DNA sequence: GGAAGACGTTAAGAAAGCGTTAGGAAAACT
DNA sequence: AGTTTTCCTAACGCTTTCTTAACGTCTTCC
């Protein structure tokens, strides 16, 4: 399971503001890089190609608008300006040299994150690939609830699908019978280990190349089952 | 590309604010349309396809966020929210349902124009989103609310259409019964899975070549339905 | 090497879910 | 107000899915 989130670049010199932003960005689940000067910011933008840049206008070494201009010579990375100055002329200037948004301090983390989402949404190229779990001949698109074996779509019943995805969630690890019964049948009293045998057999028939000698859907005798991920 | 500039749609009920905006937009050299209510705004958006929408949240006839949501079902026209409410929660809500910017009154004409420029910049650098969904023999013009099957126009009732476009919006993915009921019937208490069966049958009769063996409008037993996009 | 426990396999009946039809109620339109 | 369209609802039969039982196979341990 791949697909790490967007990468943000934070260009900000004041330590206090940096701390605030760190908390905000981490709260939003973003990865981020930090630069304390304009020079450094430009260099990091070039090197790491972040998905979005948060730029403080009050940098010590260069004017924020200059930085914007230089950046726009080669990149269209969305930029959100953070500034203590709320004068209309400042905003207009920044937006017109290519900034995508302008936030005046102080601002809330919620609004910041919402505006980051907007900017990233714009940058979206359109078709977003769903996270896909793949293993051997299998491709499982959890968002689509779709299982492909060598490109062919395989239909799984609700219980089969829940059982399979439960194993996927714990891929590589042994899942005990008790746990599987609980997660798939949802704590219903009547759930018996026999069910697991029946449905594991069905899964193997639908998914394994040689169901009688399963390669991935392995039994751990006396304990439970596990989805083998290595070879 | 014609000689005239971008067309803006202004959805605003207060006469005073309208006068202010007229002056601002004319100063910026824009053509614009005006609507005083949400209904009117949606209709004009569909008919005239403006390049950008300025939307006041405090409309008399419908909630501004509802309007956003309805609009985003078929169009990605940039929307700038104008609001007297500056609460962070309001901003976050509006931005997350698809607004592109949020301006709190009072604001200056200069900043408004600058933010309009930013929004329009996004629209033309980015991909022009095709408001037509096509699949197999089907062509669905989401803006015109028109469904063609092999070029023939097929009439769908409101519920049929909402059900169909909901599936289109999640094309390829399984949409659970619960979710469909919520999105189509709008969280009304009485909505039952039976409704889905009835309307899916009607959709299949109107759209599928062989309604008894549907190719695209697929059932996922025990889960929901999905619009199959591949083969 | 045999017995016991654990697991795999198959099939069939039961249950749940789904498709279909139609008629009356409600809403929209004229 | 009358007409037409749309929506809701119930009933019935069909299909899919789940459950359950019986039996075969494998492993382990004495």
Which residues sit opposite B10 in a β-bridge? B34, B54
Q: How confident is the model at residue B46 (pLDDT cuts 50, 70, 90)?
A: confident
Question: Which of the given ranges, A40-54, B59-73, B117-131, has the highest pLDDT on average?
Answer: A40-54
| Nucleotides in chain D with any atom closer than 7 Å to protein CB | 5-11, 16-22, 27-28
Extended strands (E) in A22-126 = 31-35, 52-56, 79-83, 101-104
Percentage of chain A surpassing pLDDT 70? 93
pLDDT at A174 over 50: yes
Q: What is the mean pLDDT of chain A?
A: 90
pLDDT (tens digit, 9 = 90+) per residue, B203-215? Answer: 999 999 999 999 9
pLDDT at A116 over 70: yes
On the CB side of B70, how many CA atoms lie within 13 Å of its CA? 16
State the Cα–Cα distance between residues B195 and B200, nearest whole angstrom. Answer: 8
For residues A228 and A172, the answer to whether their CB atoms sit within 8 Å is yes
Nearest to B172 among A110, A122, A144 (CB): A144
| Smallest CA–CA distance from B120 into chain A, residue | A100
CATH superfamily assigned to domain B7-122: Response regulator (3.40.50.2300)
Identify from A76, A88, A95, A116 which residue to disrupt to test chain B contact, counting B C-beta atoms within 10 A and taking the largest count.
A95
Report yes or no on whether pTM surpasses 0.75. Answer: no
Read off the pLDDT of each residue in A208-218 and give the average, rounded to a whole number.
Answer: 93
State the Cα–Cα distance between residues B184 and A206, nearest whole angstrom. Answer: 35
State the Cα–Cα distance between residues B192 and B178, nearest whole angstrom. Answer: 9
Q: How confident is the model at residue B2 (pLDDT cuts 50, 70, 90)?
A: very low
Q: How confident is the model at residue A1 (pLDDT cuts 50, 70, 90)?
A: very low
* CA-CA-CA-CA torsion sign (B167, B169, B174, B175): negative
Map out the domains of chain A as residue ranges.
Answer: 7-122, 132-227
Specify the length of chain B in residues. Answer: 231
Read off the pLDDT of each residue in A181-199 and give the average, rounded to a whole number.
Answer: 84
State the Cα–Cα distance between residues B114 and A89, nearest whole angstrom. Answer: 10
Given the candidates 1.10.10.10, 1.10.3720.10, 3.60.150.10, 3.30.465.10, the CATH classification of the domain at B132-227 is: 1.10.10.10
Output the distance from A197 CA to D23 C1' rounded to whole Å: 14
* Residue (of B209, B207, B36, B96) closest to A121 by Cα position: B96
* Contact across the interface for B92 and A99, Cβ inside 8 Å: no
Q: What is the mean pLDDT of chain B?
A: 89
Name the pairing type of β-strands B146-149 and B52-56: unpaired
Rounded to 10 deg, the angle between the A64-72 and A38-48 helix axes is 20
For residues A137 and A116, the answer to whether their CB atoms sit within 8 Å is no
Read off the pLDDT of each residue in B13-37 and give the average, rounded to a whole number.
Answer: 92
Read off the pLDDT of each residue in B28-45 and give the average, rounded to a whole number.
Answer: 88
Buried b (16+ CB within 10 A) or exposed e, B122-158: bbeebeeeebebeeeebbbbbeeeebebeeeeeebee
Q: What is the pLDDT of residue A204?
A: 96
Q: What is the pLDDT of residue A3?
A: 45
């Amino acid at each position: 399971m791949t697909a790490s989130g967007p990468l943000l670049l934070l260009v900000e010199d004041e330590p206090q503001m940096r701390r605030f932003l760190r908390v905000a960005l981490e709260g939003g689940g973003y990865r981020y890089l930090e630069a304390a000067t304009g020079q450094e910011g430009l260099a990091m933008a070039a090197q790491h190609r972040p998905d979005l840049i948060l730029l403080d206008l009050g940098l010590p070494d260069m004017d924020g608008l200059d930085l914007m201009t230089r950046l726009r010579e080669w990149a269209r990375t969305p930029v959100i300006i953070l500034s203590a100055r709320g004068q209309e002329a400042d905003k207009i200037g920044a937006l017109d040299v290519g900034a995508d948004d302008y936030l005046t301090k102080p601002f809330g983390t919620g609004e910041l994150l919402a505006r980051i989402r907007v900017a990233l949404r714009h940058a979206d190229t359109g078709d977003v690939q769903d996270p896909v779990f793949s293993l051997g001949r299998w491709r499982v698109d959890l968002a689509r609830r779709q299982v492909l074996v060598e490109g062919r779509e395989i239909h799984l019943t609700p219980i089969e699908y829940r059982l399979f995805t439960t194993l996927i969630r714990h891929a590589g690890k042994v899942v005990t019978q008790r746990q599987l019964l609980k997660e798939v049948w949802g704590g219903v009293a009547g759930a018996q280990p026999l069910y697991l045998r029946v449905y594991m057999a069905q899964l193997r028939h639908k998914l394994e190349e040689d169901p009688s000698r399963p390669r991935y859907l392995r039994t751990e005798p006396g304990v439970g089952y596990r989805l083998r991920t290595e070879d």
